[in-house]
């Protein structure tokens, strides 16, 4: 059995975030979505769960939700099929209320290319491509 990864992001507006992630290429699984949460599927093994703050708070006991626009708690990296696909992902995010930037890791772009992509709530994804 393959392991599935479910990343949970706190969001301020589930509908807006669902639309944003759909534009990036995720598909909503309506069976696991409601007004408090949206289940966004990249592929069979990688899903992002968008939870409104009230619902997200149920899972973190007495902790506060970090403001991902000012505090980093996690970077979610995942592979893509090409550097061009990574660039398109970043541009699509920017065109739909997110943003992106590139970090120089000292590795030639023909060997590895990645971006830091932020959704409208500041949650960070790291799409990347590596020559294998």
Residue 117's pLDDT band (cuts 50, 70, 90): very high
Beta bridge partners of residue 111, listed in sequence order: none
- What is the percent of the chain with per-residue pLDDT over 90, rounded to a whole number? 94
pLDDT for position 65: 96
Q: What is the CA radius of gyration of the chain?
A: 15
pLDDT for position 132: 87
Q: Which CATH architecture has domain 1-60?
A: Roll (3.10)
Tokens of 131: 């020559």
Fold category of 73-132 in CATH: 2,3-Dihydroxybiphenyl 1,2-Dioxygenase; domain 1 (3.10.180)
pLDDT for position 2: 80
Provide CATH 3.10.180.10 ranges for the chain.
1-60, 73-132
> Strand, helix or coil at 131?
coil
pLDDT in tens, 31-72: 999 999 999 999 999 999 999 999 999 999 999 999 999 999
> Strand, helix or coil at 17?
helix
pTM (two decimals) = 0.91
Tokens of 81: 């099929």
């Amino acid at each position: 059995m393959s392991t599935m990864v479910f990343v949970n992001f706190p969001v301020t507006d589930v509908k807006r975030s669902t639309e944003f992630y759909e534009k990036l290429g995720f598909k909503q699984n309506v069976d696991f979505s409601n007004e408090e949460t949206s289940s966004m599927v990249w592929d069979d093994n990688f899903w992002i769960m968008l939870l409104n703050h009230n619902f997200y708070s149920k899972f973190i006991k007495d902790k506060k939700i970090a403001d991902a626009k000012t505090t980093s708690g996690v970077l979610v990296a995942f592979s893509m099929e090409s550097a061009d696909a990574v660039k398109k992902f970043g541009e699509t995010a920017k065109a739909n209320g997110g943003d992106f930037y590139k970090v120089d890791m000292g590795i030639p772009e023909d060997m590895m290319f990645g971006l830091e992509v932020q959704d409208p709530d500041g949650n960070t994804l790291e799409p990347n491509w590596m020559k294998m």
